[in-house]
Chain A
Amino acid sequence: MDLPTLLQILDSTVRLSTPLLLACLAGLYSERAGIFDIGLEGKMLAAAFLSGAVAYATGSAWLGLMAGVGASLFLSLIHGVASITFRGNQLISGVAINFLAAGITVVIAQSWFGQGGRTPQLSGDARFEPITLPFADALREVPVIGPVYFELISGHTSLVYIAILFVPLTWALLYRTRFGLRLRAVGENPASVDTAGVSVIRLRYIAVVICGVLCGFAGTYLATALQAGFVKDMSAGRGFIALAALIFAKWRPWQALYACLLFGFLQAMSLRPDVLENTLGFKVNAQLLDALPYILTVVILAGFVGKAVPPRAGGAPYVKER
């Protein structure tokens, strides 16, 4: 494999990892607070649709982003009300959100645009355009460093950089602030937070809101940056891969980045079977690559690579007891 091909693949790895990373971090906030969220998929889808629709109508990707975040946040709050306020089953609520989003996006898209459940193609300012970082053009001719900087580091949309910035931000928030301590505690033992005089419900809602916002970013990225518009089922299981990455990362932010890059790389490779065949010398089925994140997660869950212990209070509604 030569350098340009490698860079191409790594470049698409970054692009494909971004929605995974945003969704994965979204899940991280929610699950660290003890609210399991298998509705990441549905939230991404809803955000993708509404961001695509609004970006098309207004011609502004940023307004699209706000709409996408709004849609995701709305579903997130449904999940919050169901699982925090009414102490419902978090898995059922999550599944419901996935079904709701899968159905309603297509129905509304068909009713608004009449194009078979998709939004019209986005162009110009309705999409997030790649940003060229400073000196990228100037350094382009420098051997190795130039192409790496130009191809790999520069030339992504702002959402990609935002996603990556969220990794150190999340780390610092989680481990270096009062909020992070409480968030981690509420996912491990909410009674300890409650008896310390801190509201469990408030903390969990904050976590769910952050989750909604990040999922909104992830969905918006799909419709307005990775693709040009919304198509039916465009999240294509990314919400579940993000969950797999979260488990793979054992609910830690930096590891989440690495897991998402790995899974994004697998997705990038499945798009370039020719490269893989040339490198390995034999043909690898693209479906196998698609399935690899899940296979790896099962391996992790089986305890082969250290134990993945989820937040201990995860999935359980908090009921006050003496």
Chain B
Amino acid sequence: MTNSAPAIELAGISKAFGTVQANKDISIRVMPGTIHGIIGENGAGKSTLMSILYGFYKADAGDIFIAGKKTLIPDSQSAIKAGIGMVFQHFKLVENFSVLENVVLGAEEGFSLGKSLAKARRELKALADEYGLTIEPDALIEDIGVGMQQRVEILKALYRRAEILILDEPTGVLTPAEADQLFRILDRLKAEGKTIILITHKLREIMDVTDTVSVMRRGEMTATVKTADTSPGELAELMVGRKVLLRVEKKSASVGNKILEIQDLHVKDEDGVHRLKGINLDIRAGEIVGIAGVAGNGQSELLEVLGGYKKATGNIRYKSQQIDLTGAVANAQSRRTLGIAHVPEDRQSEGLIMNFMAWENTAFGYHLDDAYQNGMLISNSAIRTDTQAKMGRFDVRPPDPRLDASSFSGGNQQKIVLAREIERNPDLLLIGQPTRGVDIGAIEFIHQQIVALRDEGKAILLVSVELEEILALSDRIAVMFDGQIIGERIAGETDENELGLMMAGINEDDA
């Protein structure tokens, strides 16, 4: 470290949204030329803090010092001027613009565009040479992969001469290989003297790449430590405020009969694109089959077909009984009657109606249940009583059935959906992204519920983009790539590297 002043210093930053204190008296110093991790559960205030730093929100109190100098950042323009670049979790790119246009946007030179684009083209080439960030400048954003899109975001920041780069949950959408590549790029940027702030909830990333790490919990900075001096267990404890089980404890599976047999399943979407290209998969009672894969390789379509709201061709047998795929009787209702429960991937759009109350949401899909009827009418009080009990058993907080779904945290929303589906005692549970946007404490609970269901001898199909989750829960793992199952592995006989390669379309068994 050549410079003794911190690249960024935040002193006593506080920010409240209404009555919620998102950031409480936060102070942090990040030295130049280092990678600093900020870790914390969802809603801990990480992103709010970074949004303040990038001029999106105005802090209620506190000061920001850039390279030792007090700096006011009322808007993004000032943040850019101060040398701060930000790579958001959801990329801020214009999909039908070229890479070049996206890089130039907002940093144009003069009124005429031609000159700016020519200059950016030269600079991109220079940056590519310097940092190994090679990219096709004329490609449209919608035509390139997420890894490349993220690269465009980094290039955007570098093009604006950013010295400090903030990355918000950068690996959420990447394959393990792409994530490794990103970390190599970050190392290179660090070597060139850039300062990097990495926001994540993944402990492994923190341990792998950061020099120092700050932990946030409920809007407060609970600790800042040197990464070398800490351990994942200690960080997890600091994040949650209590000891957490990082590994899922489960007995070995006692597998029973075939519950689900999928043969040669094909799906085409409205544009005629082949989304599933001949899926073959069996699931037996008492086992968890995990589907690994980068988002968008057909996992969602598979769940939708099984859940009964997408048409397909092929053969699916459930308990040796043919299931209709043509759409004639293939609705989600009929699947539930058969004992197939479904926790959809996106709880906010498919799992719940956000401005309906918890008890109303609990009845969805099961509203024809005899226990809920009162003559010709639905008995609201019966549903409410039932919901209250389920909320208790699934530790939903606050346990109030009359609250809107939107007023629960992500983890508690997910517990509501899980309670609705699991308490029906299904023989087959389809579950997509069970812990997306869910905090560590709730992840632990949700994982335990899934394993408990398996131990009761139920079949479970788990789809997740989190490889760690797949590895921790599954008994058998199928990897999807480009609408196909590229390979199957027994969970105990594989590792992240092998699965990561398969997720990128490389199956070593084929070689």
Residues of A participating in the B interface, judged by any CB pair closer than 8 Å: 175-182, 184-185, 188-189, 191-198, 312, 320, 322
Q: Are A192 and B111 in contact (CB under 8 A)?
A: no
Q: Are A192 and B113 in contact (CB under 8 A)?
A: no
Q: Are A181 and B101 in contact (CB under 8 A)?
A: yes
Once the chains are docked, how many angstroms separate the CA of A184 from the CA of B101? Answer: 11
Q: Which residues from B are CB-within-8-Å of A191?
A: 90, 92
Is B75 among interface residues, defined by CB-CB distance under 8 A? yes
Q: Are A322 and B94 in contact (CB under 8 A)?
A: no
Once the chains are docked, how many angstroms separate the CA of A180 from the CA of B105? Answer: 10
Given known A-B contacts A185-B105, A197-B77, A198-B106, A192 and B112 have beta carbons under 8 A apart: no
Q: Are A181 and B105 in contact (CB under 8 A)?
A: yes
Q: Which residues from A are CB-within-8-Å of B77?
A: 197-198
Once the chains are docked, how many angstroms separate the CA of A55 from the CA of B105? Answer: 44
Is B507 among interface residues, defined by CB-CB distance under 8 A? no
A-facing mask of B97-108, CB < 8 A → 1, else 0? Answer: 100011011111
Is B86 among interface residues, defined by CB-CB distance under 8 A? yes
A13 to chain B, nearest CB (A): 33
A195 to chain B, nearest CB (A): 4
Partner of B113, one of A178, A194, A312: A178
Q: Are B94 and A197 in contact (CB under 8 A)?
A: no
Q: In the complex, given contacts A178-B116, A198-B77, what are 16 additional A-B residue pairs having Cβ atoms less than 8 angstroms apart?
A: A176-B112, A176-B113, A181-B105, A185-B94, A188-B95, A189-B94, A192-B102, A193-B106, A195-B88, A196-B107, A196-B156, A197-B77, A197-B106, A198-B106, A320-B56, A322-B48
CB neighbors of A among B33-92 (8 A): 47-48, 50-51, 54, 56-57, 75-77, 79-80, 86, 88, 90, 92
Once the chains are docked, how many angstroms separate the CA of A179 from the CA of B50? Answer: 29
Is B327 among interface residues, defined by CB-CB distance under 8 A? no
Q: Which residues from B are CB-within-8-Å of A312?
A: 95
A72 to chain B, nearest CB (A): 26
Q: Are B110 and A322 in contact (CB under 8 A)?
A: no
Residues of B participating in the A interface, judged by any CB pair closer than 8 Å: 47-48, 50-51, 54, 56-57, 75-77, 79-80, 86, 88, 90, 92-97, 101-102, 104-108, 110-114, 116, 156, 168
Partner of A196, one of B57, B105, B111: B105
11 contacts between A and B (CB under 8 A): A176-B112, A177-B113, A179-B111, A181-B113, A185-B97, A188-B96, A188-B97, A192-B92, A196-B76, A196-B92, A322-B51
Once the chains are docked, how many angstroms separate the CA of A312 from the CA of B96? Answer: 10
CB-nearest residue of chain B to A307? B271
Q: Which residues from B are CB-within-8-Å of A188?
A: 94-97
Q: Are A181 and B108 in contact (CB under 8 A)?
A: yes
Q: Are B80 and A197 in contact (CB under 8 A)?
A: yes
CB-nearest residue of chain A to B46? A322
Q: Which residues from A are CB-within-8-Å of B54?
A: 195
Once the chains are docked, how many angstroms separate the CA of A194 from the CA of B48? Answer: 17
Q: Which residues from B are CB-within-8-Å of A181?
A: 101, 104-105, 108, 113
Once the chains are docked, how many angstroms separate the CA of A192 from the CA of B91? Answer: 8
Once the chains are docked, how many angstroms separate the CA of A320 from the CA of B76? Answer: 12
CB-nearest residue of chain A to B107? A196
B393 to chain A, nearest CB (A): 34
Q: Which residues from A are CB-within-8-Å of B108?
A: 178, 181
B321 to chain A, nearest CB (A): 38
Partner of A189, one of B47, B56, B93, B112: B93
Once the chains are docked, how many angstroms separate the CA of A206 from the CA of B92? Answer: 22
A91 to chain B, nearest CB (A): 21
Given known A-B contacts A185-B94, A188-B96, A189-B95, A195 and B86 have beta carbons under 8 A apart: yes
A318 to chain B, nearest CB (A): 12
Q: Which residues from A are CB-within-8-Å of B113?
A: 175-178, 180-181
Q: Which residues from B are CB-within-8-Å of A198?
A: 77, 105-106
Q: Are A177 and B96 in contact (CB under 8 A)?
A: no
Once the chains are docked, how many angstroms separate the CA of A178 from the CA of B111? Answer: 5
Q: Are B105 and A322 in contact (CB under 8 A)?
A: no
Q: Are B92 and A189 in contact (CB under 8 A)?
A: yes
Once the chains are docked, how many angstroms separate the CA of A193 from the CA of B92? Answer: 8
Partner of A195, one of B48, B76, B96: B76
Q: Which residues from B are CB-within-8-Å of A193?
A: 105-106
Once the chains are docked, how many angstroms separate the CA of A188 from the CA of B88? Answer: 17
Once the chains are docked, how many angstroms separate the CA of A195 from the CA of B93? Answer: 10
Q: Are B114 and A176 in contact (CB under 8 A)?
A: yes
Q: Are A182 and B106 in contact (CB under 8 A)?
A: yes
Q: Are B111 and A322 in contact (CB under 8 A)?
A: no
CB-nearest residue of chain A to B88? A195
Once the chains are docked, how many angstroms separate the CA of A320 from the CA of B17? Answer: 14
Once the chains are docked, how many angstroms separate the CA of A312 from the CA of B50? Answer: 27
CB-nearest residue of chain B to A195? B92
Partner of B106, one of A177, A184, A196: A196
B375 to chain A, nearest CB (A): 40
Once the chains are docked, how many angstroms separate the CA of A178 from the CA of B56? Answer: 23
Q: Which residues from A are CB-within-8-Å of B114?
A: 176
A251 to chain B, nearest CB (A): 11
Q: Are A322 and B96 in contact (CB under 8 A)?
A: no
Q: Are B94 and A192 in contact (CB under 8 A)?
A: yes
A220 to chain B, nearest CB (A): 29
Once the chains are docked, how many angstroms separate the CA of A293 from the CA of B104? Answer: 39
